[in-house]
């Protein structure tokens, strides 16, 4: 090969190498840009990370006495149709007891035992059970399983309910999990003055009313809201997470569907199922015990209900007056008054334009109250001293130390915003009641602030 041909070959090789290098560099740049794009896209998709516990990555199980520990409801009792909600030390008996709130198949006759984790050892003791009377004819009902704590067990930290004794070989392998025994100390001073129990949240997308309820609770003097949550809309979850970050809301996971067919109502013939209304009653009982030594008072109500004083603006002023007037009863009953959602008074000063972008009811637009039918049972909700209670139901107390009393509606009443059948609305007399708007000056800016911080450009 002559020099000219050799030079041409070298130039061609050089051009080929330069082209290959350029292509390789371009490929690297494209790959880097693609990685950056994926990162930004994923970052945007997951910009909102809910803090609801069941959405977290599952953590390694903690064990006690060689058994996994589960903090949340629901735990199945080995081969029975019984499900454990939570366990508590019962300080009001002559001997030290553990009370476990359960959901029980009423026709199943079983012998129960408490397996206690005491001082690093498993101790089995016999238990008794008591099914609450307010099962509304459903197959399952709320029940208490109680067992006496042996004297040698100075501090039972965890418990499992079983139908087997610890002497049987299969006892430990049949236990799904231990759960912590709460209320270890009988406290006299409480971190909260008022706690509200909401049971249960399911298919919930009423975002605006949720924020309004939370901010009204704050205005009334509430420091904690416990919500037994089954499921909700993503925007609802964002609001819940906002209040969890504030330490204002505690979310208790509440999903019975994998175990029991729950009813969506309280009448079995109308709402088929095996358990009344999503398991509302065991949730209420759990909430009373959960906050028994955390809160001076506990209110048992729904998110579309507000107990409002008539002569003052806060529960902190109302409850001491009720204690004096009614001689420190176990619970105070507040008469229900309906405000139909079909009747609205949308005035601009009570209906900010920005709120109209948010799903849900604006409670300030509903000021028409319909009369109650004196011939029918009139619902009520209660604010209770939890340390005076043993069993609660949807409307009132099943077992208590001092009972409850109906509060004069001229002192305080419950404002209940909900859909009412038109034929009922037509039959009842109607009256304008604007008392809720007395809170508007504080409520409106508070709600707008939360919507902005929790939902952003809503």
Kindly state the average pLDDT of the residues 28-56: 47
pLDDT of residue 42: 39
Place of tokens 């009412």: 420
Which of the four pLDDT bands, split at 50, 70 and 90, describes residue 270? Answer: confident
Residue with tokens 């994923």: 42
Task: Average the pLDDT over each of 22-36, 71-85, 95-109 and give the range with the smallest value.
Answer: 22-36
Q: What totals of helices (H) and strands (E) does the chain contain, helices first?
A: 7, 24
pLDDT value of position 57: 40
CB 450 within 8 A of CB 444: no
Please check the confidence at residue 14 and state whether its pLDDT lies above 70: no
Q: Please give the residue that has the higher pLDDT: either 172 or 367.
A: 367
Q: pLDDT value at position 388?
A: 94
Range with lowest mean pLDDT among 32-46, 375-389, 420-434: 32-46
The conformation of residue 349, written as its DSSP 8-state character, comes to G
Which helix (H) or strand (E) segment is 17 a member of?
helix 3-45
Q: Which residues contact 377 (CB under 8 A, 6 or more apart)?
A: none
Read off the pLDDT of each residue in 260-285 and give the average, rounded to a whole number. 89
Least confident piece of the model among 16-20, 71-75, 230-234 = 16-20
CA distance 337 to 322: 20
Quote the pLDDT of residue 59.
46
Reported confidence tier of residue 376, pLDDT bands at 50, 70, 90:
confident
pLDDT band at 24 (very low <50, low <70, confident <90, very high): low
Q: In the structure encoding, which two tokens stand for residue 113, read together?
A: 């035992």
Q: Which of 32-41, 155-164, 213-222, 363-372 has the lowest mean pLDDT?
A: 32-41
Q: What is the CA radius of gyration of the chain?
A: 29
Cis peptide before 357 (omega within 30 of 0): no
Share of the chain above pLDDT 90, in %: 64
Task: Quote the mean pLDDT of the chain.
Answer: 86
Torsion of CA 365, 368, 369, 373, to 10 degrees: -130
Nearest to 101 by CA among 145, 156, 138: 145
How many whole angstroms from its chain centre is CA 242?
15
Q: What is the pLDDT of residues 276-330, one digit of tens each?
A: 899 999 999 999 999 999 999 999 999 999 999 999 999 999 999 999 888 767 8
pLDDT for residue 38: 44
Mean pLDDT of 127-137: 91
320 and 378 Cβ atoms separated by less than 8 Å: no
Q: What is the pLDDT of residues 177-191, one digit of tens each?
A: 899 999 999 999 999
Confidence of residue 15 (pLDDT cuts 50, 70, 90): low
Q: Indicate the pLDDT class of residue 132, thresholds 50, 70 and 90.
A: very high
pLDDT digits (tens, 9 = 90+) for 150-167: 988 888 999 999 986 545
Four-CA torsion 103, 105, 107, 113, nearest 10 degrees: -70
pLDDT at 339 over 50: yes
Strands 396-400 and 404-406: unpaired
Q: Given this model, what pLDDT does residue 18 score?
A: 55
Residue 74 has pLDDT above 60, yes or no: yes
Q: Rounded CA gap, 421 and 180, in Å?
A: 45
Q: What is the pLDDT of residue 41?
A: 40
Statement: residue 46 has pLDDT above 90: no
Q: How confident is the model at residue 61 (pLDDT cuts 50, 70, 90)?
A: low
Q: What is the mean pLDDT of residues 117-133?
A: 91
Please give the Cα distance from 158 to 137 (Å, whole number).
Answer: 33
> Which pLDDT belongs to residue 32?
62
Fold assignment, 192-455: Spore Coat Polysaccharide Biosynthesis Protein SpsA; Chain A (3.90.550)
Q: Extract the tokens encoding 274.
A: 């095996």
Give the DSSP letter string of 198-259. Answer: EEEE-SB--HHHHHHHHHHHHHHT--EEEEEES-B-HHHHHHHHHHHHTT-EEEEE---TTT
Q: According to the model, what pLDDT value does residue 26 have?
A: 66
Phi, psi (degrees; rounded to nearest 5) at 204: -95, 125
- Note whether 390 and 397 are within 8 A (CB): no
Integer Cα distance of 333 and 315 in angstroms: 14
Among candidate residues 198, 215, 344, the one with its CA nearest the CA of residue 283 = 198
pLDDT tier, 4 (very low <50, low <70, confident <90, very high otherwise): low
Ramachandran bin of 32, using left for φ above 0, alpha for ψ from -120 to 50, beta for the remaining angles: alpha
Q: Say whether pLDDT at 39 is over 50.
A: no
With CA atoms as reference, report the closest residue to 283 among 411, 409, 132, 385.
132
Q: What is the C-alpha to C-alpha distance for residues 205 and 325, in angstroms, rounded to an integer?
A: 40
pLDDT at residue 56 is higher than 60? no
């Amino acid at each position: 090969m002559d020099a000219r041909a050799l030079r041409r070959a070298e130039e061609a090789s050089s051009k080929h190498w330069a082209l290959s290098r350029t292509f390789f560099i371009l490929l690297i740049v494209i790959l880097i840009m693609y990685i950056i794009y994926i990162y930004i896209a994923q970052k945007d998709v997951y910009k909102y990370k809910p803090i609801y516990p069941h959405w977290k990555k599952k953590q390694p199980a903690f064990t006690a006495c060689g058994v996994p520990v589960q903090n949340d409801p629901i735990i199945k009792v080995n081969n029975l149709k019984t499900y454990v909600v939570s366990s508590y030390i019962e300080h009001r008996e002559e001997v030290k007891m553990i009370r476990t709130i359960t959901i029980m198949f009423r026709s199943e006759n079983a012998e129960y035992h408490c397996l206690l984790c005491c001082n690093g050892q498993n101790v089995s003791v016999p238990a008794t059970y008591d099914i609450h009377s307010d099962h509304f004819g459903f197959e399952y009902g709320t029940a208490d399983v109680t067992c006496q704590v042996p004297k040698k067990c100075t501090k039972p930290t965890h418990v499992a309910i079983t139908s087997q004794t610890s002497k049987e070989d299969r006892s430990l392998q049949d236990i799904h999990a231990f759960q912590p025994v709460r209320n270890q100390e009988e406290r006299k001073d409480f971190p909260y003055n008022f706690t509200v129990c909401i049971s249960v949240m399911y298919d919930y997308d009423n975002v605006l009313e949720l924020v309004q309820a939370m901010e009204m609770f704050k205005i009334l003097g509430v420091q904690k809201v416990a919500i037994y949550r089954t499921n909700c809309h993503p925007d609802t979850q964002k609001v819940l997470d906002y209040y969890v970050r504030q330490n204002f809301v505690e979310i208790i996971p509440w999903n019975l569907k994998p175990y029991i067919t729950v009813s969506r109502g309280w009448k079995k013939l109308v709402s088929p199922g095996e358990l009344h209304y999503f398991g509302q009653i065991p949730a209420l009982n759990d909430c009373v015990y959960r906050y028994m030594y955390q809160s001076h008072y506990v209110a048992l109500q729904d998110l579309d209900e507000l107990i409002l004083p008539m002569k003052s603006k806060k529960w902190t002023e109302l409850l001491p007056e009720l204690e004096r007037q009614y001689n420190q009863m176990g619970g105070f009953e507040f008469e229900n008054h309906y405000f139909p959602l079909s009747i609205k008074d949308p005035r601009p000063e009570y209906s900010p334009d920005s709120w109209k972008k948010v799903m849900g009811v604006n409670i300030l637009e509903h000021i028409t109250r319909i009369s109650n039918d004196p011939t029918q049972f009139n619902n009520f909700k209660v604010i209770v001293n939890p340390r005076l209670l043993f069993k609660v139901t949807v409307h009132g107390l099943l077992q208590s130390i001092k009972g409850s009393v109906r509060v004069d509606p001229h002192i305080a009443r419950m404002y209940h915003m909900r859909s009412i059948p038109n034929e009922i609305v037509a039959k009842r007399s109607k009256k304008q009641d604007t008392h809720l708007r007395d809170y508007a000056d504080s409520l409106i800016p508070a709600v707008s602030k939360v919507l902005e911080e929790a939902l952003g450009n809503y």
